[in-house]
Chain A
Amino acid sequence: MPLRFVFSGGVHPKGNKNTDDFPTTRLDSFSSVEILLQQHVGPPCVCAVKKGDHVHVGQLIGRADHPMAVPIHASVSGEVTDVRFVISATGDPVEAVTITSDGLYTVDPSCVPPVINSREDFLHMIRTSGLVGLGGASFPVHIKLNPPKGKEPDVLLINAAECEPYITSDFRQICERPDEIIDGILAVLQWLSIPNAIIGIEDNKPLGQEVLHHEISKREAASNTHLPISLKSLKTLYPQGAEKMLIYSLTGRKVPPGKLPYDVRVLVMNVGTLRFIGEYLKNGIPLVRKSLTLDGSALNTPGNVNVPIGARIPDVIAAAGGTKEEPSKIIMGGAMMGVSLDRIECGIIKANNAILVFGSKESRIPPESPCIHCGRCVTACPMHLMPTGIDQSARRLDTEGLAAFHVLDCIECGCCTYSCPAKRYLTQSIRNGKTLLRIERARAAEAEKIRASESNQAAGKEDRAV
C-alpha cells in the first residue's frame, strides 16, 4: 500500500452523486446560442464576425489578440443575428455573439487534425483549440503549460477527484472516453518532457478507477511498453480537488502561500481538459461543446448532457426534460463553489461543469445566529485559517485584523460556511474581507506613490534653490 497523504481539514457533504449512472446525452435542439467573448481569465476577445454573417461549427468568432486570451469559436452553424454586451453570470459586462442555428451543425472546413512537430507547435495548437482549464477556473491552458525557465514540472497531476457534491460530468467522461483521456495525458507528457503522470481519483468512484486502469493496461499490453501513468486513489473528502490539497494528497508537496504549483514542480490539469486535448488531436474541432451535469430537486430528469457552448440555460433545462416545480435557485457550477444566477438567460460557458436547479426547499438560506466559538470552521478549513476571526474582522472593517488572519490565503472552498452550526455566512464575509484588504492595500500603495513623487519634487526644488 503506497503512502497516502491526506490534508487536514475538509468536510464530508452528502455526495448527492445522483447522476453517476446517467450516460451523457448529446442535446442539439437549440434554436439559438449566446456565446460570450470572454470565457477565460484574462482580457476579452475581439469580435471577428458581424451581424448577418453565416458561420460554421468551429469557425473563429472571437479573436485572441492579447497573449493571455483564448479564442472563441462558433458552436452551431447558422447566422449571426446579434452582437451586443450582456451581463455575465459573475455580473461583468461582456460582449456576446448570438447565433441562430440552422440545425445542421456543419463543421468549418478549417477544422483538421493538427500536425505537431515541436513543443511550440503543441502550445500553439492548445491555444488555437480555444482550451481553458475545464475544472472551473478557466485559466488559459497555453499559459499554464508554459512555466518559467527553471521551474519545469517533474510530474503531471490529473485532477479527477470531482469532490463537489452533485457533479458527475468528469466521472462520466472517464467512463465514456478513457481513450481520449490517456491520449491527452501522453501528448502533454511527450511535448512538455514530463517524465510521470499521476491520476488522482476519489475512492467513491471505484468504477472510474477500474476503467482507467483497464485502459492503461490494455495499451501497455498492446504496445508491450510501460506507460508512465499511475492511478492514485484519494480519500473522499471535500475539497480534495482543490489544487493545493490535490498536490499534497498526491505528492506530499505543499505549495507555499502566494505561490503556484510550478513552484513545487508540478503541473495540475483537470481530467476534462486532458480529454479535450485527446479529442482535439483526433478531429481538430475546437472547444465548442461542453459536457455537464444537470441536477437539483426542481428538475424532472437529472442527468449528464453534452451541449453547444452558448446554449441558454432555460433551453438546456427544457431539452433535458424540464422542471417539476418553479426553480428558486440556479447554480452555475457545484453546490459548494458555484455561482448562483440572478437571471436564467445565461449561456453555457466553457468552464461550466454543472447546472444545479434547486427547488424552494433546497434553496432556503438558514438565518444567521451568533458565533458560539465551537471551532468547527477552524477544524474544517483546509488552508488552516481561522474563518471566524476573519469574519469578525471583515464585519468590523478591520484591515489589520484581516491581514493578521491571512485572509488572502483563503481558497473560498466554503467548508467553513458548510460546517458552521450558527449558520454564519463566513465565506461571503471572507470574500468581502479580501476585497476590503485589496482596496486598502491599493490605496496605501497609491498614497505611497504620491508621497514619493512629492518628496522628489521637493528635493528637486531644493536643488534648484541651491
Chain B
Amino acid sequence: MKLQVSSSPHIRDSVTTSSIMRDVIIATVPAIIASGIIFGLRSVLVILVSVLSCMFFEYISRRIMKRDNTLSDLTAVVTGVLLAFNLPPTLPYYMVVIGAFFAIVVVKQMFGGLGNNFVNPALTSRIILAIAFPNDMTTWKLAEGPFNFVKSLQGVDLVSSATPLAILKHQGLQGAESIPSLLTMFLGDKAGCIGEVSILALSIGVIYMLCRKIITLWIPLTYIGTVMLMTLFIGHHSIFDLFTGGTPTADTWRQVLSEPVYMMMAGGLFVGAFYMATDYVTSPITTKGRIFFGIGCGVITVLIRYFGNIPEGVSFAIVLMNILTPHLDKATLPKTFGEVKQHEKS
C-alpha cells in the first residue's frame, strides 16, 4: 500500500488564484457593458484587443523564458481588462498592443511573473502610453454609443470634450454649464477612459467582489475618504468659503459640498481605488499598511489634481505607493497575539 505523506493541514480551502481572478473578471463585466453603451462598440474592441494581446505576450514571454504556461491563472486577462479600462475608447489599436507589451513583458514577466512585479502592470503601462502618445491618450470623444445621450442634446455625431476633471481643474464648478450633473457623473455619460466613467456599473462589480471576499474596504475607503476630505479643504470651493464674505448662500453651500463628490466620481479615482489600488501583489498585506497606503494614494492624487501639470493623478499616486508597499508591510508588522509593551522592552 502506497501512502501519501505530507505536512498538516490535510485539507485546503476551495479558493484558488484563478478563482479569485475569475471573480475579478466577473466584477468588471458591468463596467464593460456600460462602456459599450456609453462609447459604443469600439470601446469593447479595445478591451478585446488588450486582453488578447496580454494573453499572447504572457504566453510567448513565458515560452521564451522556458517557464511553464501560466495562462490558466487568468491574471493576464485581468491585466488586459484593467489596462483597457485606463485607455481612451478612441486609442489606435497598435498603441493598445504596445501597452499590453509593457504591462505583461516589461513590468510583470521581466520581474519574475505573477507575485513579483513591484508596480501595477496596467497602471504603469498607462503611464508609459500617456508619456509616449500624449495626444492620443488625452483625446476624449463623446456620444458614439447606441443610446447617443449627448448626440441628442447637441445634434452632432462626434464631440471632442474635456473630461469633468479638466473642467474642474481649470474652472471649478463656476463653469457650471459644461460640467455634467452629479447624476450623469454617476451613470457615466461623460468623457473619460473606457472603464472609469460609470460609477454605477463599477459599484455593482465592487459589491460582487465584497460579497465574494475578494477585496477589503480598507484601501478604497481610506483612499477616497482622503481625497474627499482634502478637497473639502483645498478645493476651488473649499470649506473656508463658508466663513468669508458674510452668510454663505445656498449656492456656496452646494458648491462646497458637491466638489468632493465630483472629485470622487470624476476621472479614474473610483476604478483606481477599488480595482487598481486593491491589486494584491502591489498593495500592503497588513490592515494598518493598507490604511497608510490608501491615505498616501489620496494625498498624492489630490496634490496632482490641484497643483500638478496634468488633470489626473490616480495612476501616478497608486504606482508611487506601490513602490512603498514593501516598506509599509515591514513597518506595520502586526503584534503577536498576547504581546504586550513590557514584553517588547524586556
Q: Do A and B bind each other?
A: yes
Interface residues of A, Cβ cutoff 8 Å to B:
7, 9, 11, 13-14, 165, 244, 248, 254-257, 259, 326-331, 333, 335-344, 356, 358, 362-363, 365-366, 369-376, 378, 382-386, 388-389, 404-406, 409, 412, 414, 417-423, 425, 427-428, 431
Chain A hits for B280, CB < 8 A: 372-375
A-B contacts, 27 of them at CB < 8 A, read A7-B337, A244-B337, A257-B337, A257-B339, A257-B343, A329-B3, A329-B4, A329-B6, A331-B10, A336-B9, A340-B4, A340-B5, A340-B6, A341-B5, A342-B5, A358-B10, A366-B16, A372-B20, A372-B114, A374-B285, A375-B285, A384-B335, A386-B329, A420-B12, A420-B13, A421-B17, A422-B17
CA distance A405 to B2 in the complex (A): 37
| Majority SS at the chain B contact face | loop
CB distance A419 to B13 under 8 Å? yes
Q: Which residue of A lies closest to B73 (CB)?
A: A369
Chain B hits for A335, CB < 8 A: 8-11
CA distance A331 to B11 in the complex (A): 11
A327-B3, A344-B3, A370-B114 known; A421-B15 Cβ under 8 A: yes
CB distance A386 to B285 under 8 Å? yes
Partner of A385, one of B1, B6, B13, B334: B334
CB distance B336 to A383 under 8 Å? yes
Q: A330-B3, A338-B8 are in contact. List 19 more A-B contacts (CB 8 A).
A: A248-B337, A328-B2, A328-B4, A335-B9, A342-B5, A344-B3, A365-B4, A369-B73, A372-B281, A375-B280, A375-B286, A383-B337, A409-B336, A418-B12, A418-B13, A420-B12, A421-B20, A423-B16, A427-B8
CB distance B286 to A378 under 8 Å? yes
CA distance A338 to B115 in the complex (A): 31
A327-B3, A421-B19 known; A254-B9 Cβ under 8 A: no
Kindly count the residue-residue contacts between A and B in the assembled complex, taking CB atoms under 8 Å apart: 158
B283 CB to nearest A CB, Å: 8
Interface assignment of B116: CB less than 8 Å from any CB of chain A:
yes
Chain A hits for B16, CB < 8 A: 366, 421-423
Q: Which residue of B lies closest to A7 (CB)?
A: B337
A115 CB to nearest B CB, Å: 41
Partner of B343, one of A7, A256, A414: A256
B132 CB to nearest A CB, Å: 29
Q: Which residue of B lies closest to A238 (CB)?
A: B9
A371-B115, A373-B280, A378-B285 known; A386-B8 Cβ under 8 A: no
B113 CB to nearest A CB, Å: 7
CA distance A249 to B208 in the complex (A): 32
Identify the 5 closest CB pairs spanning chains A and B, nearest first: A414-B9, A428-B7, A370-B115, A254-B338, A375-B285
Interface assignment of B153: CB less than 8 Å from any CB of chain A:
no
| Majority SS at the chain A contact face | loop
Partner of B6, one of A365, A369, A382, A386: A365
Partner of A405, one of B11, B15, B333, B338: B333
Chain B hits for A326, CB < 8 A: 1
Chain B hits for A165, CB < 8 A: 11
CA distance A339 to B4 in the complex (A): 11
Interface assignment of B131: CB less than 8 Å from any CB of chain A:
no
